[in-house]
Amino acid sequence: MSARILIADDDPIQRQLLETLCHRFGYEAETAESGEAALERLRASSADPICLLILDLVMPDLDGMAVLARLKAAGSKIPIVVLTSQGSVESALAAVRAGAQDFVVKPAGAERLQVVIKNTLHAARLAEEVRGLSRRNLDSLTFDDLAGESVEMTRALRQGEKSAKSDIPVLLEGEPGTGKETFARAIHGASARRGRPFVAVNCAALPDILAETVLFGGDAGEKIPGKFVEAHGGTLFLDQICELPVSAQAGLLQALQQGMVHPGGTKRPVKADVRLIFAANRNLIERVTGGRFREDLFYRINVFPISLPPLRVRPGDIAGLAARLCARFAAEEGKRLRGICAEALALLASYDWPGNVRQLENAVFRAVALAEGDELTVADFPQIAASTGGFDVRVPAAPARRIPRDKEFVRVEVRDPNVLALLDARGHTRPLDQLEAETIKFALTHYRGQMSEVARKLGIGRSTLYRKLKEYQLEPQGPEADQSDTASDAGGYLAARV
């Protein structure tokens, strides 16, 4: 999904111009006519999240500096680009010191605005990724750190937030690579056990003869605490629980029922105060039917199942995920990358990703590691491009705006008299006869009615020029200019009217 930009400016012409440019750049855009309206939109939790605020510094009532102060007091992390008039660079620098990321001098040039937006969004994604990595290392990852705006992922995130409020056992179901361990860490980070140990165990890697010792501990010559004891007070994540050896399933059932584990070689049970989260990438019912998983254990762990959707059913999340991964890997590799171009994002969104998020991570990491430019392009994803039928990838149209069809194109006042409008008010190309008539009318005015000069500059004969004047009903006023090329000196100004 494209980044959503909020434009706060009291000048309606500026709002329309900036909104049009943002849509041209491929972003979604909303407008606010005052500082208060902008703050109210940012506080709207039910609406789509705003990724960037473009803020005018000079507005009545609540100006840009006051908006910056309120956002800073509220602890907002939204990136901000301020708008300032020519000669007010000092105020723009003050705004940057107050928390804005960059500034643009009005009237905003398209190229400058596009670069500022792209760089600011990239820096914000990088900062968020760094914060997420720090929280992950401290076992304090939360659901705010997980990207996903699709219906399927939003549902899973909502269920995860509910499960974090208690110690109920959770079963995460999903294909390999859907991010089950990251999701489990988010549950732990959002629970009352955050800050306590988070211990992850891959059950598929446990040998039959060592599974019980690894999980529950042992005292055969050398005391081994076991993962349950290691995770005491925190969360124990058992990945690929469907592959847990049968020899360890009875001990796990006992731990769930009694909250105690029996280390091998000892007589006394050990208390295990842990929150259990399980993950399975296979159908556990089939394992139970085949006699490879205990039925009573299945009902103990299948208390709060959460299904994590594969990446192919939520293509709208791919762009955001890829951008965050690009920012993270660029920081790790010391690469100065502005992000991923629109064509490459379209390519990634068109791919099925059988390996899900893990495969996307690998693809972006490879592209970042081998990148030679300052932006990832289609050429940096050769394997994905080959799988989707080549490099001819079409960029999707700008996101549909939630306004009536007859307002889809914004009419912006053109102040430069040398500009010939090629589109009408509805955004359609104008007929050739209208364009030709306006060109002749402009030439008559520009060369002050000197017909020989007008015909010569237009590349047509004088007789053709007179014929077209009659055809388009452009009637010269004043003395006949064709009698002399010095008509302008004699006061022979020819005005044209339609």
- Mean pLDDT for the stretch of residues 208-231: 81
As given in the structure block, the two tokens for residue 296 are 């009573």
As given in the structure block, the two tokens for residue 229 are 């004891």
CB atoms within 10 A of CB 332: 13
Q: pLDDT: is 491 or 123 the higher one?
A: 123
- Mean confidence (pLDDT) of the chain: 81
End-to-end C-alpha distance for the chain, whole angstroms: 47
User: Could you give the residue ranges of the DSSP H alpha helices within 338-401?
Assistant: 342-349, 356-370, 382-387
Kindly report, as residue ranges, where domains of CATH 1.10.10 are found in the chain. 431-498
CATH says 4-134 is which class? alpha beta
- The CATH number corresponding to 431-498 among 1.10.1060, 3.30.2310, 3.30.110, 1.10.10 equals 1.10.10
Q: What is the DSSP letter of 239?
A: E
Q: So what's the architecture of 315-387 in CATH?
A: Orthogonal Bundle (1.10)
pLDDT at residue 236 is higher than 60: yes
State the pTM of this model. 0.56
pLDDT at residue 415 is higher than 60: no
Distances (CA, A) of 100 to 36, 77, 467: 18, 10, 60
Q: What is the DSSP letter of 479?
A: S
State whether the Cα torsion 344-132-55-32 is positive or negative.
positive
CATH topology of domain 143-309: Rossmann fold (3.40.50)
Distances (CA, A) of 227 to 232, 361, 421: 9, 29, 72
pLDDT at residue 187 is higher than 90: yes
User: Could you give the residue ranges of the DSSP H alpha helices within 302-450?
Assistant: 318-333, 342-349, 356-370, 382-387, 432-446
Nearest CA to 48 among 1, 101, 100?
1
Kindly report, as residue ranges, where domains of CATH 3.40.50.300 are found in the chain. 143-309
Q: What is the pLDDT of residues 238-284, one digit of tens each?
A: 999 999 998 899 989 988 988 888 887 667 788 889 999 999 987 88
- Cβ-based neighbours of 113, under 8 Å, separated by 6 or more: 18, 21, 25, 104
